[in-house]
Structure 1
Protein backbone atom coordinates (compact mmCIF):
# COMPACT_ATOMS: atom_id res chain seq x y z
CA UNK A 1 0.00 0.00 0.00
CA UNK A 2 1.41 3.36 -1.03
CA UNK A 3 1.92 5.94 1.70
CA UNK A 4 0.51 9.37 0.86
CA UNK A 5 3.17 12.00 1.34
CA UNK A 6 2.95 15.07 -0.88
CA UNK A 7 0.20 17.68 -0.81
CA UNK A 8 -0.60 16.92 -4.45
CA UNK A 9 -1.07 13.23 -3.65
CA UNK A 10 -3.27 14.09 -0.67
CA UNK A 11 -5.48 16.33 -2.79
CA UNK A 12 -5.77 13.61 -5.44
CA UNK A 13 -6.74 11.14 -2.70
CA UNK A 14 -9.42 13.51 -1.36
CA UNK A 15 -10.85 14.01 -4.85
CA UNK A 16 -11.12 10.24 -5.24
CA UNK A 17 -13.10 10.23 -1.98
CA UNK A 18 -15.50 12.79 -3.44
CA UNK A 19 -14.17 15.90 -1.71
CA UNK A 20 -14.57 18.95 -3.94
CA UNK A 21 -12.29 21.94 -4.45
CA UNK A 22 -14.79 24.52 -5.66
CA UNK A 23 -14.93 27.03 -2.79
CA UNK A 24 -11.26 26.56 -1.96
CA UNK A 25 -9.18 25.88 -5.05
CA UNK A 26 -6.62 23.10 -5.18
CA UNK A 27 -3.64 25.44 -5.10
CA UNK A 28 -4.96 27.22 -2.00
CA UNK A 29 -5.74 23.87 -0.36
CA UNK A 30 -2.18 22.77 -1.06
CA UNK A 31 -0.80 25.89 0.66
CA UNK A 32 -3.11 25.32 3.64
CA UNK A 33 -1.99 21.71 4.03
CA UNK A 34 1.66 22.70 3.82
CA UNK A 35 1.55 25.63 6.25
CA UNK A 36 -1.52 25.50 8.49
CA UNK A 37 -2.64 21.96 9.09
CA UNK A 38 -1.85 18.33 8.30
CA UNK A 39 -3.91 15.73 6.55
CA UNK A 40 -4.74 13.34 9.39
CA UNK A 41 -6.23 16.10 11.54
CA UNK A 42 -8.03 17.83 8.67
CA UNK A 43 -9.41 14.60 7.23
CA UNK A 44 -10.86 13.57 10.61
CA UNK A 45 -13.64 16.13 10.14
CA UNK A 46 -14.96 14.05 7.21
CA UNK A 47 -16.73 11.92 9.81
CA UNK A 48 -19.34 14.70 10.09
CA UNK A 49 -20.48 14.17 6.48
CA UNK A 50 -22.50 11.45 4.78
CA UNK A 51 -21.32 9.17 1.98
CA UNK A 52 -23.20 7.77 -0.97
CA UNK A 53 -23.94 4.10 -0.45
CA UNK A 54 -23.34 3.36 -4.13
CA UNK A 55 -19.68 4.47 -4.27
CA UNK A 56 -18.72 5.55 -0.71
CA UNK A 57 -17.96 9.09 -1.91
CA UNK A 58 -18.82 12.08 0.25
CA UNK A 59 -21.98 14.05 -0.52
CA UNK A 60 -21.53 17.78 -1.17
CA UNK A 61 -18.30 18.00 0.82
CA UNK A 62 -15.94 20.78 -0.17
CA UNK A 63 -12.41 21.13 1.20
CA UNK A 64 -13.52 24.53 2.51
CA UNK A 65 -15.84 22.85 5.03
CA UNK A 66 -13.00 20.75 6.46
CA UNK A 67 -10.77 23.80 6.60
CA UNK A 68 -13.42 25.85 8.40
CA UNK A 69 -14.14 23.08 10.92
CA UNK A 70 -10.44 22.78 11.71
CA UNK A 71 -10.31 26.53 12.39
CA UNK A 72 -13.44 26.46 14.55
CA UNK A 73 -12.04 23.47 16.44
CA UNK A 74 -8.80 25.37 17.11
CA UNK A 75 -10.68 28.31 18.66
CA UNK A 76 -12.87 25.92 20.65
CA UNK A 77 -9.79 24.13 22.03
CA UNK A 78 -8.23 27.43 23.14
CA UNK A 79 -11.46 28.42 24.88
CA UNK A 80 -11.95 25.08 26.62
CA UNK A 81 -8.30 24.88 27.68
CA UNK A 82 -8.58 28.31 29.33
CA UNK A 83 -11.77 27.20 31.10
CA UNK A 84 -10.09 23.99 32.30
CA UNK A 85 -7.08 25.93 33.60
CA UNK A 86 -9.43 28.27 35.47
CA UNK A 87 -11.21 25.27 37.00
CA UNK A 88 -7.89 23.69 37.95
CA UNK A 89 -6.86 26.89 39.70
CA UNK A 90 -10.22 27.10 41.49
CA UNK A 91 -9.94 23.48 42.68
CA UNK A 92 -6.46 24.15 44.10
CA UNK A 93 -7.62 27.34 45.80
CA UNK A 94 -10.69 25.78 47.41
CA UNK A 95 -8.82 22.66 48.50
CA UNK A 96 -6.02 24.65 50.13
CA UNK A 97 -8.50 27.02 51.77
CA UNK A 98 -10.38 24.08 53.28
CA UNK A 99 -7.15 22.46 54.50
CA UNK A 100 -6.27 25.77 56.14
CA UNK A 101 -9.68 25.95 57.82
CA UNK A 102 -9.64 22.29 58.84
CA UNK A 103 -8.54 22.01 62.48
CA UNK A 104 -7.67 18.35 61.90
CA UNK A 105 -5.12 19.17 59.21
CA UNK A 106 -1.74 20.90 59.18
CA UNK A 107 -1.18 20.72 55.42
CA UNK A 108 1.48 18.02 55.74
CA UNK A 109 -0.37 15.01 57.13
CA UNK A 110 -2.89 14.79 54.27
CA UNK A 111 -0.05 14.71 51.73
CA UNK A 112 1.92 12.08 53.66
CA UNK A 113 -1.14 9.88 53.73
CA UNK A 114 -1.92 10.53 50.07
CA UNK A 115 1.56 9.70 48.72
CA UNK A 116 1.61 6.55 50.85
CA UNK A 117 -1.49 5.41 48.99
CA UNK A 118 -0.50 6.86 45.61
CA UNK A 119 3.27 6.45 45.40
CA UNK A 120 3.17 7.14 41.67
CA UNK A 121 2.35 10.80 42.32
CA UNK A 122 5.79 11.28 43.90
CA UNK A 123 7.46 9.43 41.08
CA UNK A 124 5.72 11.72 38.62
CA UNK A 125 7.07 14.74 40.49
CA UNK A 126 10.58 13.31 40.36
CA UNK A 127 10.37 13.21 36.57
CA UNK A 128 10.28 17.01 36.59
CA UNK A 129 13.19 17.58 38.95
CA UNK A 130 15.33 18.94 36.10
CA UNK A 131 12.74 21.54 35.13
CA UNK A 132 13.73 25.15 35.71
CA UNK A 133 10.18 25.90 36.82
CA UNK A 134 9.91 23.48 39.73
CA UNK A 135 13.39 22.09 40.47
CA UNK A 136 13.96 24.27 43.53
CA UNK A 137 10.63 23.31 45.09
CA UNK A 138 11.31 19.62 44.54
CA UNK A 139 14.84 19.83 45.95
CA UNK A 140 13.67 21.77 49.00
CA UNK A 141 10.65 19.70 50.02
CA UNK A 142 10.89 16.20 48.51
CA UNK A 143 9.42 13.91 49.75
CA UNK A 144 7.72 15.77 52.66
CA UNK A 145 5.62 18.28 50.77
CA UNK A 146 3.16 20.67 52.37
CA UNK A 147 -0.15 20.77 50.52
CA UNK A 148 0.45 24.27 49.10
CA UNK A 149 3.67 23.11 47.43
CA UNK A 150 2.37 19.68 46.41
CA UNK A 151 -0.52 21.06 44.34
CA UNK A 152 1.95 23.18 42.35
CA UNK A 153 3.92 20.11 41.28
CA UNK A 154 1.32 17.47 40.48
CA UNK A 155 -0.64 16.88 37.29
CA UNK A 156 -4.33 17.72 36.99
CA UNK A 157 -5.04 13.98 37.17
CA UNK A 158 -3.20 13.65 40.50
CA UNK A 159 -4.89 16.82 41.72
CA UNK A 160 -8.27 15.21 41.09
CA UNK A 161 -7.13 12.12 43.02
CA UNK A 162 -5.93 14.29 45.91
CA UNK A 163 -9.22 16.21 45.93
CA UNK A 164 -11.15 12.94 45.90
CA UNK A 165 -8.97 11.50 48.68
CA UNK A 166 -9.54 14.61 50.79
CA UNK A 167 -13.34 14.59 50.48
CA UNK A 168 -13.39 10.87 51.29
CA UNK A 169 -11.38 11.56 54.44
CA UNK A 170 -13.39 14.65 55.35
CA UNK A 171 -16.92 14.15 53.93
CA UNK A 172 -19.18 17.15 53.47
CA UNK A 173 -16.48 19.82 53.47
CA UNK A 174 -16.18 20.25 49.69
CA UNK A 175 -18.28 19.57 46.60
CA UNK A 176 -18.10 16.08 45.13
CA UNK A 177 -15.59 15.27 42.39
CA UNK A 178 -18.05 13.73 39.92
CA UNK A 179 -17.24 16.09 37.02
CA UNK A 180 -13.52 16.54 37.59
CA UNK A 181 -12.44 13.47 35.64
CA UNK A 182 -14.38 14.69 32.60
CA UNK A 183 -12.66 18.05 32.96
CA UNK A 184 -9.29 16.29 33.21
CA UNK A 185 -9.99 14.41 29.97
CA UNK A 186 -11.05 17.64 28.24
CA UNK A 187 -7.96 19.43 29.49
CA UNK A 188 -5.68 16.68 28.22
CA UNK A 189 -7.44 16.55 24.86
CA UNK A 190 -7.17 20.30 24.32
CA UNK A 191 -3.59 20.51 25.59
CA UNK A 192 -2.57 17.79 23.12
CA UNK A 193 -4.47 19.47 20.28
CA UNK A 194 -6.88 16.58 19.80
CA UNK A 195 -9.88 17.11 17.54
CA UNK A 196 -13.05 17.93 19.46
CA UNK A 197 -15.67 18.34 16.74
CA UNK A 198 -14.68 15.63 14.30
CA UNK A 199 -17.72 13.57 15.32
CA UNK A 200 -20.87 15.61 15.82
CA UNK A 201 -23.47 12.90 15.28
CA UNK A 202 -26.56 13.42 17.39
CA UNK A 203 -26.78 11.33 20.53
CA UNK A 204 -23.14 10.28 20.81
CA UNK A 205 -22.64 12.07 24.12
CA UNK A 206 -25.00 13.19 26.85
CA UNK A 207 -24.08 15.82 29.44
CA UNK A 208 -24.42 15.18 33.13
CA UNK A 209 -27.84 15.86 34.65
CA UNK A 210 -26.10 18.26 37.06
CA UNK A 211 -24.77 20.27 34.13
CA UNK A 212 -28.17 20.34 32.42
CA UNK A 213 -29.84 21.62 35.61
CA UNK A 214 -27.13 24.21 36.19
CA UNK A 215 -27.23 25.56 32.65
CA UNK A 216 -31.04 25.63 32.58
CA UNK A 217 -30.98 28.07 35.49
CA UNK A 218 -28.84 30.60 33.61
CA UNK A 219 -30.87 33.53 32.33
CA UNK A 220 -31.33 33.50 28.58
CA UNK A 221 -30.63 29.78 28.11
CA UNK A 222 -33.55 27.50 27.41
Structure 2
Protein backbone atom coordinates (compact mmCIF):
# COMPACT_ATOMS: atom_id res chain seq x y z
CA UNK A 1 0.00 0.00 0.00
CA UNK A 2 1.35 3.40 -0.99
CA UNK A 3 1.44 6.02 1.75
CA UNK A 4 0.69 9.54 0.55
CA UNK A 5 2.14 12.32 2.69
CA UNK A 6 0.47 15.72 2.74
CA UNK A 7 3.14 18.40 2.82
CA UNK A 8 2.18 22.03 3.21
CA UNK A 9 4.59 24.63 1.94
CA UNK A 10 6.53 26.81 4.32
CA UNK A 11 5.16 30.34 4.59
CA UNK A 12 7.16 33.51 5.06
CA UNK A 13 5.96 35.79 7.84
CA UNK A 14 4.19 38.05 5.35
CA UNK A 15 2.54 34.98 3.84
CA UNK A 16 1.45 33.88 7.33
CA UNK A 17 -0.37 37.20 7.77
CA UNK A 18 -2.05 36.76 4.39
CA UNK A 19 -3.00 33.20 5.30
CA UNK A 20 -4.69 34.41 8.49
CA UNK A 21 -6.54 37.13 6.56
CA UNK A 22 -7.81 34.53 4.09
CA UNK A 23 -9.16 32.58 7.06
CA UNK A 24 -11.12 35.62 8.23
CA UNK A 25 -8.75 36.79 10.97
CA UNK A 26 -8.93 40.58 11.35
CA UNK A 27 -6.29 43.05 12.50
CA UNK A 28 -8.29 45.84 14.14
CA UNK A 29 -6.70 45.85 17.61
CA UNK A 30 -3.24 44.68 16.54
CA UNK A 31 -1.87 45.95 13.25
CA UNK A 32 -0.58 43.59 10.59
CA UNK A 33 2.95 44.88 11.16
CA UNK A 34 2.76 44.31 14.91
CA UNK A 35 1.25 40.88 14.29
CA UNK A 36 4.14 40.00 11.99
CA UNK A 37 6.61 41.00 14.70
CA UNK A 38 4.64 38.94 17.24
CA UNK A 39 4.88 35.86 15.04
CA UNK A 40 8.60 36.40 14.60
CA UNK A 41 9.58 36.86 18.22
CA UNK A 42 6.76 35.77 20.56
CA UNK A 43 5.24 32.59 19.18
CA UNK A 44 4.66 30.76 15.90
CA UNK A 45 1.73 30.39 13.55
CA UNK A 46 0.89 26.73 14.20
CA UNK A 47 0.59 27.29 17.96
CA UNK A 48 -1.23 30.62 17.81
CA UNK A 49 -3.69 29.65 15.11
CA UNK A 50 -4.77 26.61 17.12
CA UNK A 51 -7.06 28.87 19.16
CA UNK A 52 -9.19 29.50 16.05
CA UNK A 53 -11.09 26.31 16.90
CA UNK A 54 -13.00 28.27 19.55
CA UNK A 55 -14.59 30.45 16.87
CA UNK A 56 -17.43 29.59 14.46
CA UNK A 57 -17.04 29.76 10.69
CA UNK A 58 -19.23 31.48 8.13
CA UNK A 59 -21.70 29.73 5.86
CA UNK A 60 -18.89 28.76 3.47
CA UNK A 61 -17.03 27.04 6.33
CA UNK A 62 -13.82 28.74 5.21
CA UNK A 63 -13.63 31.99 7.21
CA UNK A 64 -13.85 32.55 10.95
CA UNK A 65 -16.36 34.99 12.42
CA UNK A 66 -15.62 37.74 14.99
CA UNK A 67 -11.98 36.68 15.21
CA UNK A 68 -9.34 39.37 15.61
CA UNK A 69 -5.63 38.58 15.84
CA UNK A 70 -5.74 40.09 19.33
CA UNK A 71 -8.15 37.33 20.39
CA UNK A 72 -5.62 34.68 19.42
CA UNK A 73 -2.90 36.52 21.35
CA UNK A 74 -5.12 36.93 24.42
CA UNK A 75 -6.05 33.25 24.49
CA UNK A 76 -2.41 32.23 24.04
CA UNK A 77 -1.31 34.41 26.96
CA UNK A 78 -4.11 33.14 29.23
CA UNK A 79 -3.18 29.59 28.24
CA UNK A 80 0.45 30.23 29.16
CA UNK A 81 -0.59 31.39 32.64
CA UNK A 82 -2.90 28.39 32.98
CA UNK A 83 -0.17 25.88 32.07
CA UNK A 84 2.14 27.31 34.72
CA UNK A 85 -0.64 27.08 37.32
CA UNK A 86 -1.49 23.50 36.35
CA UNK A 87 2.10 22.42 36.82
CA UNK A 88 2.20 24.08 40.24
CA UNK A 89 -1.18 22.66 41.28
CA UNK A 90 -0.34 19.15 40.12
CA UNK A 91 3.03 19.12 41.90
CA UNK A 92 1.22 20.06 45.11
CA UNK A 93 -1.43 17.41 44.47
CA UNK A 94 1.27 14.76 44.06
CA UNK A 95 3.01 15.91 47.24
CA UNK A 96 -0.10 15.94 49.41
CA UNK A 97 -1.30 12.61 48.01
CA UNK A 98 1.99 11.19 49.28
CA UNK A 99 1.42 12.91 52.63
CA UNK A 100 -2.04 11.34 52.82
CA UNK A 101 -0.74 7.89 51.93
CA UNK A 102 2.08 8.04 54.46
CA UNK A 103 -0.35 9.21 57.12
CA UNK A 104 -2.38 6.05 56.57
CA UNK A 105 0.75 3.87 56.71
CA UNK A 106 2.10 5.63 59.80
CA UNK A 107 -1.17 5.29 61.71
CA UNK A 108 -1.65 1.68 60.65
CA UNK A 109 -0.21 -0.72 63.23
CA UNK A 110 -0.37 -3.52 60.67
CA UNK A 111 2.10 -1.82 58.32
CA UNK A 112 5.87 -1.61 58.79
CA UNK A 113 6.42 0.49 55.66
CA UNK A 114 8.45 -2.18 53.84
CA UNK A 115 6.10 -5.08 53.30
CA UNK A 116 3.62 -2.94 51.42
CA UNK A 117 6.23 -2.11 48.76
CA UNK A 118 7.36 -5.72 48.40
CA UNK A 119 3.79 -6.92 48.03
CA UNK A 120 3.04 -4.21 45.48
CA UNK A 121 5.99 -5.23 43.33
CA UNK A 122 5.01 -8.89 43.65
CA UNK A 123 1.45 -8.07 42.58
CA UNK A 124 2.56 -6.67 39.23
CA UNK A 125 2.64 -8.76 36.10
CA UNK A 126 6.04 -9.41 34.57
CA UNK A 127 5.86 -6.55 32.09
CA UNK A 128 4.70 -3.97 34.65
CA UNK A 129 7.29 -5.10 37.19
CA UNK A 130 10.03 -4.87 34.58
CA UNK A 131 8.90 -1.36 33.66
CA UNK A 132 8.93 -0.03 37.21
CA UNK A 133 12.25 -1.67 38.06
CA UNK A 134 13.72 -0.15 34.91
CA UNK A 135 12.28 3.20 35.95
CA UNK A 136 13.90 2.89 39.36
CA UNK A 137 17.25 2.04 37.79
CA UNK A 138 17.03 5.04 35.45
CA UNK A 139 16.21 7.33 38.34
CA UNK A 140 19.14 5.85 40.23
CA UNK A 141 21.40 7.67 37.77
CA UNK A 142 19.90 10.99 38.81
CA UNK A 143 21.95 13.03 41.30
CA UNK A 144 18.69 13.63 43.19
CA UNK A 145 17.80 9.97 43.70
CA UNK A 146 20.95 7.88 43.44
CA UNK A 147 21.91 7.92 47.14
CA UNK A 148 18.44 6.84 48.29
CA UNK A 149 18.31 4.16 45.60
CA UNK A 150 21.77 2.79 46.48
CA UNK A 151 20.89 2.62 50.18
CA UNK A 152 17.47 0.97 49.87
CA UNK A 153 17.46 -0.79 46.50
CA UNK A 154 17.16 -4.26 48.04
CA UNK A 155 14.33 -3.34 50.39
CA UNK A 156 12.51 -0.05 49.76
CA UNK A 157 10.49 1.54 52.56
CA UNK A 158 7.37 3.26 51.29
CA UNK A 159 8.65 6.75 52.17
CA UNK A 160 11.69 6.22 49.93
CA UNK A 161 9.88 4.30 47.19
CA UNK A 162 7.39 7.09 46.51
CA UNK A 163 10.22 9.61 46.20
CA UNK A 164 11.95 7.70 43.41
CA UNK A 165 9.04 6.56 41.22
CA UNK A 166 7.21 8.72 38.68
CA UNK A 167 3.78 10.24 39.28
CA UNK A 168 2.20 7.62 37.03
CA UNK A 169 3.80 4.77 38.97
CA UNK A 170 2.84 6.44 42.22
CA UNK A 171 -0.81 6.45 41.17
CA UNK A 172 -0.67 2.73 40.51
CA UNK A 173 0.89 2.20 43.94
CA UNK A 174 -1.67 4.53 45.54
CA UNK A 175 -4.53 2.43 44.18
CA UNK A 176 -2.85 -0.77 45.37
CA UNK A 177 -2.49 0.71 48.87
CA UNK A 178 -6.14 1.82 48.95
CA UNK A 179 -7.30 -1.68 48.04
CA UNK A 180 -4.90 -3.24 50.55
CA UNK A 181 -6.14 -0.97 53.34
CA UNK A 182 -9.71 -1.85 52.41
CA UNK A 183 -8.92 -5.55 52.82
CA UNK A 184 -7.28 -4.88 56.18
CA UNK A 185 -10.28 -2.90 57.33
CA UNK A 186 -12.49 -5.88 56.53
CA UNK A 187 -10.22 -8.07 58.69
CA UNK A 188 -10.14 -5.60 61.58
CA UNK A 189 -13.61 -3.99 61.62
CA UNK A 190 -13.11 -2.56 65.09
CA UNK A 191 -10.07 -0.56 63.98
CA UNK A 192 -11.14 1.81 61.22
CA UNK A 193 -7.91 3.08 59.74
CA UNK A 194 -9.07 5.31 56.91
CA UNK A 195 -11.62 5.77 54.20
CA UNK A 196 -10.28 3.51 51.47
CA UNK A 197 -13.16 4.39 49.13
CA UNK A 198 -12.05 8.01 49.31
CA UNK A 199 -8.52 7.01 48.33
CA UNK A 200 -9.81 5.02 45.38
CA UNK A 201 -11.79 8.10 44.28
CA UNK A 202 -8.55 10.07 44.63
CA UNK A 203 -6.84 7.64 42.29
CA UNK A 204 -9.31 8.14 39.45
CA UNK A 205 -9.35 11.91 39.90
CA UNK A 206 -5.55 12.03 39.92
CA UNK A 207 -5.40 10.09 36.66
CA UNK A 208 -7.11 13.10 35.11
CA UNK A 209 -4.67 15.44 36.88
CA UNK A 210 -1.74 13.46 35.50
CA UNK A 211 -2.98 13.79 31.92
CA UNK A 212 -3.35 17.56 32.03
CA UNK A 213 -0.09 17.93 33.95
CA UNK A 214 1.71 16.07 31.19
CA UNK A 215 0.14 18.35 28.59
CA UNK A 216 1.08 21.48 30.54
CA UNK A 217 4.63 20.26 31.22
CA UNK A 218 5.09 19.62 27.49
CA UNK A 219 3.78 23.14 26.77
CA UNK A 220 0.81 21.82 24.80
CA UNK A 221 -2.08 24.20 24.14
CA UNK A 222 -4.95 23.58 26.55
CA UNK A 223 -7.56 26.24 25.77
CA UNK A 224 -7.37 25.86 21.99
CA UNK A 225 -10.57 23.81 21.67
CA UNK A 226 -13.33 24.33 24.24
CA UNK A 227 -16.17 22.85 22.20
CA UNK A 228 -18.34 20.06 23.62
CA UNK A 229 -17.07 16.72 22.40
CA UNK A 230 -17.26 13.03 23.15
CA UNK A 231 -14.37 11.55 25.12
CA UNK A 232 -13.62 8.29 26.83
CA UNK A 233 -12.50 9.70 30.16
CA UNK A 234 -15.22 9.28 32.76
CA UNK A 235 -15.80 12.41 34.81
CA UNK A 236 -15.93 11.71 38.53
CA UNK A 237 -19.33 11.96 40.21
CA UNK A 238 -17.52 13.51 43.17
CA UNK A 239 -16.43 16.39 40.93
CA UNK A 240 -19.88 16.74 39.36
CA UNK A 241 -21.50 16.85 42.80
CA UNK A 242 -19.12 19.57 43.97
CA UNK A 243 -19.75 21.64 40.82
CA UNK A 244 -23.48 21.36 41.36
CA UNK A 245 -23.54 21.92 45.13
CA UNK A 246 -20.64 24.34 45.61
CA UNK A 247 -20.91 26.36 42.42
CA UNK A 248 -24.64 26.20 41.90
CA UNK A 249 -24.44 25.26 38.24
CA UNK A 250 -27.31 23.27 36.76
CA UNK A 251 -26.81 19.66 35.72
CA UNK A 252 -27.24 20.41 32.02
CA UNK A 253 -24.74 23.26 32.11
CA UNK A 254 -22.21 21.09 33.92
CA UNK A 255 -22.77 18.19 31.54
CA UNK A 256 -22.05 20.38 28.52
CA UNK A 257 -18.89 21.85 29.98
CA UNK A 258 -17.33 18.62 31.26
CA UNK A 259 -18.07 17.01 27.92
CA UNK A 260 -14.94 18.89 26.88
CA UNK A 261 -12.03 16.85 28.24
CA UNK A 262 -9.81 19.89 28.67
CA UNK A 263 -12.35 21.73 30.81
CA UNK A 264 -13.04 18.57 32.83
CA UNK A 265 -9.34 18.09 33.56
CA UNK A 266 -8.79 21.74 34.52
CA UNK A 267 -11.69 21.55 36.97
CA UNK A 268 -10.41 18.23 38.32
CA UNK A 269 -7.00 19.76 38.95
CA UNK A 270 -8.55 22.70 40.81
CA UNK A 271 -10.80 20.41 42.82
CA UNK A 272 -8.09 17.93 43.81
CA UNK A 273 -5.76 20.66 45.02
CA UNK A 274 -8.57 22.03 47.18
CA UNK A 275 -9.25 18.54 48.49
CA UNK A 276 -5.73 17.27 49.16
CA UNK A 277 -3.54 20.28 49.98
CA UNK A 278 -3.74 20.26 53.76
CA UNK A 279 -1.37 23.22 54.25
CA UNK A 280 -3.30 26.43 54.90
CA UNK A 281 -0.27 28.45 53.81
CA UNK A 282 -0.09 26.74 50.43
CA UNK A 283 -3.83 27.03 49.91
CA UNK A 284 -3.67 30.73 50.75
CA UNK A 285 -0.75 31.30 48.39
CA UNK A 286 -2.41 29.41 45.53
CA UNK A 287 -5.70 31.19 46.15
CA UNK A 288 -4.03 34.53 45.52
CA UNK A 289 -2.42 33.26 42.28
CA UNK A 290 -5.65 31.69 41.07
CA UNK A 291 -7.62 34.87 41.66
CA UNK A 292 -5.01 36.80 39.67
CA UNK A 293 -5.56 34.31 36.88
CA UNK A 294 -9.36 34.62 37.15
CA UNK A 295 -9.07 38.41 36.95
CA UNK A 296 -6.93 38.04 33.82
CA UNK A 297 -9.57 35.99 31.96
CA UNK A 298 -11.68 39.01 30.98
CA UNK A 299 -9.06 41.71 31.40
CA UNK A 300 -8.37 42.23 27.68
CA UNK A 301 -11.63 40.99 26.19
CA UNK A 302 -15.18 40.47 27.47
CA UNK A 303 -15.79 37.73 24.89
CA UNK A 304 -19.41 38.87 24.63
CA UNK A 305 -19.34 37.82 20.97
CA UNK A 306 -18.17 34.29 21.81
CA UNK A 307 -20.37 32.48 24.32
CA UNK A 308 -18.24 29.33 24.18
CA UNK A 309 -15.22 31.14 25.57
CA UNK A 310 -17.20 33.42 27.87
CA UNK A 311 -19.20 30.61 29.50
CA UNK A 312 -16.07 28.50 29.98
CA UNK A 313 -14.12 31.35 31.54
CA UNK A 314 -17.10 32.18 33.75
CA UNK A 315 -17.20 28.59 34.98
CA UNK A 316 -13.46 28.57 35.75
CA UNK A 317 -13.70 31.92 37.55
CA UNK A 318 -16.67 30.65 39.59
CA UNK A 319 -14.80 27.48 40.56
CA UNK A 320 -11.83 29.53 41.71
CA UNK A 321 -14.08 31.94 43.63
CA UNK A 322 -15.96 29.15 45.44
CA UNK A 323 -13.14 26.68 46.01
CA UNK A 324 -10.42 29.24 46.77
CA UNK A 325 -12.02 32.16 48.66
CA UNK A 326 -9.76 35.00 49.72
CA UNK A 327 -10.15 37.77 52.25
Q: Same fold (TM over 0.5)?
A: yes
Are the aligned partners of 2:204 and 2:236 in contact in 1 as well (CA < 8 Å)? no
Does residue 1:111 correspond to 2:122, yes or no?
Answer: no
- Shift in Å at residue 73 of structure 1? 0.9
Quick one: distance in 2 between partners of 1:204 and 1:74? 25
1:110-149 alignment, distance < 5 Å: 110-116=116-122, 117=124, 118-119=128-129, 120-149=131-160
Structure 2 residue 251 is the aligned partner of structure 1 residue 197? no
CA deviation after TM superposition for structure 1 residue 198, in Å: 1.0
5 Å matches for 1:34-45?
34-45=40-51
2:90 maps to which residue?
A: 84
Confirm or deny: 8 A CA contact 1:125 1:153 kept in the other structure. Answer: yes
1:29 matched residue in structure 2: 35
1:216 Cα deviation (Å)?
4.2
Q: Which residue of 1 aligns with 2:237?
A: 209
The answer to whether 1:18 aligns with 2:24 is yes
Q: Match for residue 169 of structure 1?
A: 180
Moved more, 14-23 or 147-156: 14-23
1:159 aligns with 2:167: no
1:180 to 170, 184, 206: 206
Correspondence 1:66 to 2:66: no
Q: 1:42-68 deviations in whole A, cap 9, x for unaligned?
A: 111110011123261111211111110
Unaligned residue ranges in structure 2 (runs of 5+): 1-6, 186-193, 249-327
Where 2:85 maps in the other structure, the secondary structure is: helix
CA distance in 1, matches of 2:177, 2:37: 52
Deviation at 1:166, TM superposition (A): 0.7
* Number of corresponding residues: 220
Highest RCO, 1 vs 2 (Cα 8 Å, sep ≥ 6): 1
Alpha-carbon deviation of 1:76?
1.4
With structure 2 as the length reference, what TM-score do the two structures score? 0.62
Which has the higher mean CA deviation after the structures are superposed, 51-60 or 154-163?
Answer: 51-60
1:143, 1:12 → 2: CA distance? 63
Residues 60, 216 of structure 1: alpha-carbon distance in 2 compared, 3 angstrom cutoff? closer
| 1:56 has 2:62 as partner | yes
Closer, same or farther in 2 for the Cα pair 1:40/1:123, shift >3 Å?
same
Tell me, in whole angstroms, the C-alpha distance in 1 between the residues paired with 2:17 and 2:46. Answer: 13
Cα RMSD, aligned residues only: 2.1
Q: 1:212 to 1:131 in 2, by over 3 A?
A: same
Unaligned runs of 5+ in 1: none
Contact 1:48 1:200 (8 Å CA) reproduced: yes
Structure 1 residue 150: Cα displacement: 1.0
| Residues 122 and 143 in structure 1, CA contact (< 8 A), matched pair in contact too | no
CA distance in 2, matches of 1:66, 1:81: 23
Take 1:55 and 1:94, find their aligned partners in 2: how far apart are those partners?
51
